[in-house]
Amino acid sequence: GAGVSQSPSNKVTEKGKDVELRCDPISGHTALYWYRQSLGQGLEFLIYFQGNSAPDKSGLPSDRFSAERTGGSVSTLTIQRTQQEDSAVYLCASSSPGTSYNEQFFGPGTRLTVL
């Protein structure tokens, strides 16, 4: 089966514009995570969805960031009024209770550049 996919792979936008980043998790995976990876930095947790539970939004850096997960599958991360400091690679991961404990499978990421 296919792994985690993300689109677009690259996104260039102008400061102040809104962007939407998409994540398709592995089929059947109930947990979905978004991370931000700035140049040369580690993975910064943003938000976590698990089944039908309320998402853990504790990592979202500001109210300009939001995410949805429709039907327990595809997720969209939205950044409103983008700023230059939002430039980073946004990674999505999914996991399932049936796999190795907490193993997260990552997509290739979306590289966002805010001019």
Partner 1 sequence: GENVEQHPSTLSVQEGDSAVIKCTYSDSASNYFPWYKQELGKGPQLIIDIRSNVGEKKDQRIAVTLNKTAKHFSLHITETQPEDSAVYFCAASLSDKLIFGTGTRLQVFP
Q: What is the DSSP letter of 86?
A: G
Q: What character string, x for contact with partner 1 (CB under 8 A) and - otherwise, covers 60-89?
A: ------------------------------
Q: Provide the pairing of β-strand 105-106 with 88-95.
A: antiparallel
Q: Nearest 5°: phi and psi at 58?
A: -65, -20
Are the CB atoms for 96 and 35 separated by under 8 Å? Answer: no
The separation between CA 71 and the C-alpha centre of its own chain, rounded to angstroms, equals: 16
Site membership for partner 1, residue 109 (CB under 8 A)? yes
Q: What character string, x for contact with partner 1 (CB under 8 A) and - otherwise, covers 8-47?
A: -----------------------x-x-x----xxxx-x--
Site membership for partner 1, residue 106 (CB under 8 A)? yes
Footprint of partner 1 (CB under 8 A): 4, 31, 33, 35, 40-43, 45, 48, 50, 56, 91, 93, 95, 100-109
